[in-house]
Chains A and B, each alone.
Chain A
Amino acid sequence: MMNSMIIGKYVPGDSVIHRMDPRAKLLVIFIYVFIVFLANNSATYAILSVFTFSLVVLSRIPLSFVLKGLKPVIWIVAITFLLHVFMTKEGDVLYQIGSFSIYEGGVKQGVFISLRFLLLIMITTLLTLTTTPIEVTDGVESLLGPLKKVHVPVHELALMMSISLRFIPTLMEETEKIIKAQTARGVDFTGGPFSERIKAIVSLLVPLFISSFKRAEELATAMEARGYRGGEGRTKFRQLVWKWTDTAFLAAVLVLAVVLFALRS
């Protein structure tokens, strides 16, 4: 149950988007996040939406999965929409309720800003849906590579991330085991007043922390025994391959940027 919560996001597949180099995906999203702000009229928003939905179609992931990713932010989007509708006083008055009046410009602005929000979330959801966490880690490590020159511990950070990913299921299993063990000893995790439940959580966290520290120490020993001594002189087993499709996607997002820039009012 808990497994699906955190790493169940990735939907295995073999689409063009799945096979993209994670570096290309990250770069496309990075550029996208900026050019989303270029759009400011119907034409540019239409083009932006078409581009985004084409990517979703290309990923061959059911739209419902992508929409699920929007759920947590839907309230923020709704509030933003309403704020713009009520606060913007431009264009003709469309509707009048008491002292409040809704302007045409307000509705337009509300729709645009909400759309901007939704498109951003959609494209980032698409990344997590089509890329395994370890691919993202490799991509980030590779892209941040140049920062090693200014002594940013890029390799160490990436290794930390990949080890954390590797241990999530292990720690989940352990948590479940401790919950069962403590339940058998009379701890009630589900009911009781709030203060009692906090106490119950403590009886779960303390053993979990202790065992995690022990694990960390043993893992460090095992890594050292297997010859780990930092990123220096290390080769990589997992390799990222930059294909022509990656260049194509990158070019597409750059063309999009130019078009948006030309058409914005």
Chain B
Amino acid sequence: MEDTILSVEKLSFRYPNQSDYAVQNVTFQVKRGEWLAIVGHNGSGKSTIAKLLIGLLRPESGVIKLFHTVLDERTVWEIRRRVGMVFQNPDNQFVGTTVEDDVAFALENNGIPRDEMIKRVHEALRQVQMEEFLHHEPHHLSGGQKQRVAIAGILALRPDLIILDEATSMLDPKGRQEVLDTVRNLNKKQRITVLSITHDLEEVAKADRVIVMNKGEMMAEGTPKQIFALGTKLERIGLDLPFAVKIRDRLKQRGIPLSSSYVTIEELVEELWTLYLKR
């Protein structure tokens, strides 16, 4: 058996006083070191899944297992120590008055001794290239920098899994790039497992595997290439295709012989400029 760190079985959840399920019969696994993206339009239940995973909401039925431990009231704090979550709004998750205080917050909560804390705060900030901002106050940081501090706050606990709950949706393109680069680095170099919940398909293109959610149910699962091949099906549930994929499809309609295997702009450019030579 491959090392599965998260497994979700037949998960269902309804918000109080609502007849429709926000999440219905969802089953999936995440393997160690993988980057899994969950995409879906607003109200597709993707953020609800994130909240269920760290016990902020309790499922109506179904089982969530993290590290082969069933999530329940007794294990929730241990699981929260091993799973870090980055939320959407950079401001509303910044607890400390300075960068170092904020990174230390989760460590304080878990009763880590002070000497160890100082070491880990520096280490975590170095990993997200924010060490020089140690004593800065949050209102002097950009959105992307605040999200990187949030990631550092999670890294300080040395987690096995990072959940990004629309962590880049409120950032400008530069901030988004910074955050995604940081996360990709952690994923590739330190083999930290990433579960990213998003409606940005450019972000999806970077994942190893994708789950598409629609109205609380899983609609499709596969690699980014397989998912983007769904084309209009995605557009019908309110998701936009990445720019590179759209251009590719249009060019193909015009009879330009492009392969349909790439998903990023770099790959598109590469194929276009070598196209003439191939003829």
**Could you list which residues of chain A lie within 8 angstroms of chain B, going by C-beta atoms?**
134, 162-163, 165-166, 169-170, 173, 214-215, 218-219, 221-229, 233-239
> How long is the Cα–Cα vector from A218 to B112 in the complex, in angstroms?
25
For chain B, the count of residues having a C-beta within 8 Å of the partner chain is: 39
> How long is the Cα–Cα vector from A138 to B100 in the complex, in angstroms?
16
Nearest CB of A to B51, in Å? 8
Given contacts A169-B139, A235-B114, contact A222 B108 (CB under 8 A): no
Interface of A, secondary structure class, is helix
Interface of B, secondary structure class, is helix
Nearest CB of A to B58, in Å? 13
Residues in A with CB closer than 8 Å to B100 are 237
> How long is the Cα–Cα vector from A218 to B117 in the complex, in angstroms?
25
> How long is the Cα–Cα vector from A225 to B167 in the complex, in angstroms?
15
Let me know if B262 is at the binding interface, CB within 8 A: no
Residues in A with CB closer than 8 Å to B85 are 222, 225
**Which of A165, A170, A224 contacts B56 (CB under 8 A)?**
A224
Given contacts A134-B97, A234-B108, A237-B104, contact A221 B77 (CB under 8 A): no
Let me know if B95 is at the binding interface, CB within 8 A: yes
27 A-B residue pairs with CB within 8 Å? A169-B137, A169-B138, A170-B138, A173-B139, A214-B92, A215-B91, A215-B92, A218-B93, A219-B93, A221-B51, A221-B87, A222-B87, A223-B95, A225-B85, A226-B105, A226-B153, A228-B105, A233-B111, A234-B111, A235-B113, A237-B104, A237-B105, A237-B108, A237-B114, A237-B117, A237-B118, A237-B121
Sorted from nearest, which 6 A-B pairs have the closest CB atoms? A237-B104, A222-B93, A218-B92, A169-B139, A227-B109, A226-B106
> How long is the Cα–Cα vector from A234 to B105 in the complex, in angstroms?
10
Residues in B with CB closer than 8 Å to A227 are 77, 80-81, 106, 109-110, 157
> How long is the Cα–Cα vector from A163 to B108 in the complex, in angstroms?
15
Given contacts A166-B94, A219-B93, A222-B87, contact A235 B101 (CB under 8 A): no
Q: Is the CB of B91 within 8 A of A221?
A: no
Residue of B nearest to A239 (CB): B114
**Which of B92, B110, B139 contacts A219 (CB under 8 A)?**
B92
